[in-house]
């Protein structure tokens, strides 16, 4: 298994030749008692073209749009509490079905109603991404966010991008304060 740190990259074809069916598990834990409200974190995916913009609005995959139009990216459902061990939300990807215009697949975690509930990622000490081979369930990449994101309500955790040598994964650690709406506006 490969452990990544911020800015690290792996080439899928080099590390896992021929892999096309991938699962990305995103997870988090919250500081108990840090808010009077329950936390609801959400995983989202932006499938963009070479200019870094959504191919079409329907290529924004999240709890209310669980599948991209090409069927290549599928959100398996919203975990409204994040309770329990392991991945909280999973995104399944089939690279063989991906729209040819796709240049990157960006993964975000956001806090629902963060401003109203006075919540931020400073209250979320453990956020991570796991990448699996969907055919074998083998975990081959693990990435734990390293930053303290007090004040942030959205974090880009990582991205697949199509490089000259095939699909690569890059570990990100980018925090934002405009929530999911701000990310959607940026990628449109």
Which one is predicted more confidently, 71 or 88? 71
CB-CB neighbours of 94 under 10 Å: 16
CATH number, domain containing residue 42: 2.60.60.30
| Inter-residue contact 110 to 183 (CB < 8 Å) | yes
Cα separation, 65 vs 75, in Å, equals 8
Which one is predicted more confidently, 188 or 7? 188
Which one is predicted more confidently, 40 or 64? 64
| Lowest mean per-residue pLDDT among 30-44, 58-72, 102-116 | 30-44
Q: How confident is the model at residue 83 (pLDDT cuts 50, 70, 90)?
A: low
**How many independent structural domains does the chain possess?**
1
Q: How confident is the model at residue 80 (pLDDT cuts 50, 70, 90)?
A: low
CA nearest to 128, candidates 140, 111, 138, 143: 143
Which tokens sit at 114? 């963060």
> 104 — phi, psi (to 5°)?
-155, 155
Which one is predicted more confidently, 7 or 54? 54
Which value, in Å, is the radius of gyration of the alpha carbons in the chain? 16
Q: What does the mean pLDDT of the chain come to?
A: 90
CA nearest to 122, candidates 2, 6, 39, 24: 39
> 69 — phi, psi (to 5°)?
-55, -30
The pLDDT of 76-82, averaged and rounded, is 64
Tokens 């936390």 belong to 39
What is residue 78's predicted lDDT score, i.e. its pLDDT? 62
For 115-173, the pLDDT digits (tens) are 999 999 888 877 888 999 999 999 999 988 877 789 999 999 999 999 898 999 999 98
What is residue 162's predicted lDDT score, i.e. its pLDDT? 94
Domain assignment of residue 89, given as a range: 2-187
What is residue 87's predicted lDDT score, i.e. its pLDDT? 76
| Element holding 174 (H helix, E strand) | strand 166-176
The pLDDT of 108-115, averaged and rounded, is 92
For 13-61, the pLDDT digits (tens) are 899 999 999 999 988 877 777 888 888 888 999 999 999 999 999 999 9
């Amino acid at each position: 298994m490969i452990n990544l740190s911020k800015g690290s990259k792996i080439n899928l074809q080099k590390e896992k030749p021929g892999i096309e069916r991938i699962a990305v598990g995103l997870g988090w834990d919250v500081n108990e008692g840090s808010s009077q409200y329950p936390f609801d974190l959400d995983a989202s995916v932006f499938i963009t073209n070479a200019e870094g913009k959504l191919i079409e609005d329907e290529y924004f995959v999240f709890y209310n749009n669980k599948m991209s139009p090409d069927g290549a990216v599928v959100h398996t459902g919203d975990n409204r509490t994040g309770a329990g061990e392991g991945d909280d939300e999973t995104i399944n990807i089939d690279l063989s079905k991906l729209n040819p215009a796709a240049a990157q697949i960006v993964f975000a975690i956001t806090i629902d109603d963060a401003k109203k509930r006075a919540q931020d990622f400073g209250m979320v000490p453990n956020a991570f991404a796991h990448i699996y081979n969907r055919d074998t369930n083998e975990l081959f990449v693990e990435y734990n966010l390293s930053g303290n994101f007090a004040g942030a309500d959205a974090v880009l955790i990582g991205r697949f991008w199509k490089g000259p040598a095939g699909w690569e994964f890059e570990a990100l650690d980018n925090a934002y304060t405009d929530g999911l709406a701000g990310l959607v506006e940026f990628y449109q």
